[in-house]
Structure 1
Amino acid sequence: MENTSTGKQLPEPTKAELEILQVLWEFGPSTVRFVNEQLNLQKDVNYTSTLKQMQIMTEKGILKRDESQMKHIYIPVEAEEKTKDQLLDRFVNTLYKGSASRLMMQLLGNEKISKEEIEAIKKML
């Protein structure tokens, strides 16, 4: 992923990093405590683990930290859609040899897709 502000290539987020990014994208800039509380709604995550992970993400350039207040606020560097687009491109290229239609055929054959979702896809097409 490319950091638009510096032009540098950002590392691809790990699964744990994506979980943190999902919280920040949904709720906006947040403290480690808030992110940890949100993660704990899904699974048991230690506060110090979340803190360390977010510090590493800051070092990698995935997050930036606002230190102007008493509590440090963490902010994603890249927008949600840009990150997801880049991850999807890599996924399609790696698993489907660059063929979005192969991916769509597998998705449409998946029993988890609802009739409403199929109708929404038809409208997009």
Structure 2
Amino acid sequence: MTRGKPRPPKPTAAELDLLRLVWRLGPSTVKDVHQARLAERPDATYATVLRLMQVMHAKGLLTRDESQRSHVYAAAHAQDALQTNLLKDLIQKAFAGSGKALVLAALNDHVTEKEREEIRRLLRENSDD
């Protein structure tokens, strides 16, 4: 059993969509998140957003400040920490633990030429260290 910081819970795809909004908006009410969600998904109902945010709070993905009439939710984990955790799981499950295999798969089909040049620049900068 490893000690240290507990790993953040794994969000579902729907939870991750809402987390992206909360990370972008900062601490927000359900109404704020629902309004932002409508821009992406016009069919999103307030009740669905509320229910999902309550589940996310119970799972430890969101914190909730209940000191005001409208509860204010915030991400319980930093975006980079949660993404790193999800990436580690993806590398283990889909690429047999090989970060190189993940990068090669991404470079093969999912990177624009502009992004490739930026990656080359970053690699050159980091190889000077």
Q: Give 1:27's aligned residue.
A: 25
Contact 1:32/1:74 (<8 A) preserved: yes
Instruction: Show structure 1 runs of 5+ residues with no match.
Output: none
Question: C-alpha offsets along residues 68-96 of structure 1, whole Å, 9 cap, x if unaligned?
Answer: 12211101111000000000110111101
TM-score, normalised via structure 2 length:
0.85
From 10, 13, 21, the counterpart of 1:12? 10
Contact 2:8/2:85 (<8 A) preserved: no
Q: Give 2:115's aligned residue.
A: 117
Question: C-alpha offsets along residues 27-62 of structure 1, whole Å, 9 cap, x if unaligned?
Answer: 100011111111121222111011011111111111
The number of residue pairs the alignment matches comes to 119
Q: Give 1:84's aligned residue.
A: 83
Report percent identity of matched pairs: 34
SS at match of 1:41: helix
Instruction: Show structure 2 runs of 5+ residues with no match.
Output: 124-129
Larger Cα-atom Rg? 2
CA RMSD of aligned residues (A): 1.5
Runs of at least 4 residues off by over 3 Å: 7-10
Q: Give 1:93's aligned residue.
A: 92
1:124 Cα deviation (Å)? 2.0
For 1:9 and 1:114, the matched residues in 2 are separated by 32
